[in-house]
Amino acid sequence: DVKVTQSSRYLVKRTGEKVFLECVQDMDHENMFWYRQDPGLGLRLIYFSYDVKMKEKGDIPEGYSVSREKKERFSLILESASTNQTSMYLCASSLRWGAEAFFGQGTRLTVV
């Protein structure tokens, strides 16, 4: 069974902290994605990666960075967490462009 695993379901961090959200997929997928989901705004793409060490900005990259050192792992980094980054974060992967996306269970991050 295919799987995308996010390191935490719930996370509480303080303003100014550096936060790492980890995502691992076991399907040998080329593409990986980070979205954030807020009420009334749907899913918004933060960053994506189509190969190891390759990354592209999505629609809302400000305040975030990513790392993909290995094919199976895609990390989202909040350099200095702020309260407006309180949100649900969703990681996804796909075998190729336009194919079905597989999502992790989500990380609900609260920044206080």
Asked if 89 and 9 touch (Cβ cutoff 8 Å), the reply is: no
CA angle 6, 32, 111 (to 5 degrees): 45
Taking the complex as a whole, the smallest distance from the CB of residue 24 to another protein amounts, in Å, to 14
Taking the complex as a whole, the smallest distance from the CB of residue 3 to another protein amounts, in Å, to 11
Taking the complex as a whole, the smallest distance from the CB of residue 90 to another protein amounts, in Å, to 6
- Cβ nearer to another protein, comparing 17 with 38: 38
- Cβ nearer to another protein, comparing 17 with 51: 51
What's the CA gap between 14 and 19, in Å, rounded? 9
